[in-house]
Amino acid sequence: MAGTELAILKGITLEIKSGESAAIIGASGSGKSTLLGLLAGLDEATAGTVTINGTELGALDEDGRARFRGQHIGFVFQSFQLLPALTALENVMLPLELQGQSKVAELAQNYLQRVGLGARTDHYPLQLSGGEQQRVALARAFASRPSILFADEPTGNLDTKTGEHIIDLLFELNREEGTTLVLVTHDNALAERCQRRLRLDGGELMQE
């Protein structure tokens, strides 16, 4: 693609308050995932800044952003992104271990109990159903006590009924932990449950 410049996101200004829940909705290819990648510090913007809790992500290098993600950010992905080599418990322990916390096993066990998987801690992802895998991912996301949680189409790979359970669980945990939630989805019903809804269309953001 050398020589061709492609602007995916244009002139976006967005502020999300601590403890707030916001949904970014838009059609496929509207730039939702790109925006999420930038907000969460997974990617670098060619122009503009992202500031979380007073830290400007653009000023950090990749390793600095990785440390920042570890301390402040949690993720829930459409395709779960569990490590197949680790058990449910080990998957939840992983971010805690990366932060160098102690008593990680107890903490992880506690969160797995809260998502209703207390009895399946030794199972590997492939031995769990899609809904169960996503519950492990929720436990992993909240276990590190992030100040902000990004969820990328969290029900995209699940059937409607299972998806609703996951969403209930997500909002329940969010309420209990007081986490800021940024959710990307094309599902209007899901977006309805957030305090704010933002529509992304052709790279431009509109408040609904």
Partner 1 sequence: MSITATKMLARDWRGGELGVLVMALVLAVGVVSGISAFTTRLQNALEQESHRFLAADLVVNSGRELPSAWLQEAQGKGLQHALTLQFPSMVYAGEDTMSLASIKAVSDTYPLRGEMTFSTEPFGPVLAAESGPAPGEVWLDSRLFALLDVAVGDQVAVGDAQFVVAAAARTEPDQGSAFYGYGPRVLMHYSDIPATGVVQPGSRAEYRQLYAGEAATLAAFNRWLKPQLEEGQRAVTVEEGQPGIGNALDRAERFLLLAGSLAVVLAGVAVALAARRFSERHHDYVAIIKSLGATSGTVNRLYGSSLLLLGGIATVLGCLLGWGIQALFFYLFAEQLPVQPGPSGMKPYAIGAVTSLTCLLCFAWPPLRRLGQASPLRVLRRDLPLENRQAINDYALGLLAVTLLMWWYSEDWQLTLAVLAGLALTVGLGFCLALTLLRGGRLLGMSAGSIWRLALAGLQRRGSANALQVVIFAMAIMMLLILLLVRTSLIDEWQAQLPDDAPNHFMINIGPEDVQAIEQLLRAENISSEPFYPMIRGRIMSIDGEELPSTDDMEEGRRQRESNFTWADTLPTDNRLVAGEWWPAGTEEPLVSLEEEFADRMDLEVGDTIGFLIGSQPLEARVASIRALQWQSMRPNFYLVFPPRALAAFPATFMTAFHLGATDKAFLNQFIRRFPTVTVIEMDIVVEQIRTIINQVSAAINLVLVVILAAGGLVLVAGVQASVDARVHESAILRALGAQRRLILGGLLIEFATLGLFAGLLATVAAELSVYILQTFVMEMSYTPTPWLWPVGIFSGALVIGTLGVFSCRRVVSTPPVAVLREL
Binding mask 129-168 for partner 1 (x = CB under 8 A): -----------x---x-------x----------------
In our burial notation (b when 16+ CB lie closer than 10 A, e otherwise), range 102-121 reads: eebeebbbebbebbebeebb
- Any residues with CB less than 8 A from the CB of 207 and at least 6 apart, and which? 196, 197, 198
Taking CB under 8 A as the rule, does residue 55 contact partner 1? no
Least Å distance between CB 48 and partner 1?
Answer: 17
Six-digit token string for 181: 């939630």
Footprint (CB under 8 A) of partner 1, residues 74-93: 75, 77, 81-86, 90
Closest CA to 199 of 49, 20, 23, 17: 23
Least Å distance between CB 86 and partner 1?
Answer: 6
Q: Assign 145 to helix, strand or coil.
A: coil
Is residue 158 packed enough to be buried (19+ CB in 10 Å), middle (13-18) or exposed (0-12)?
buried
Taking CB under 8 A as the rule, does residue 99 contact partner 1? yes
Judged by CB under 8 A, the residue of 21, 30, 33, 109 near partner 1 is: 33
Least Å distance between CB 14 and partner 1?
Answer: 18
Closest CA to 174 of 137, 142, 134: 142
- Which residue ranges make up the site for partner 1 (CB under 8 A)? 33, 36-37, 40, 42-43, 62-63, 66-71, 73, 75, 77, 81-86, 90, 94-95, 97-99, 124, 140, 144, 152
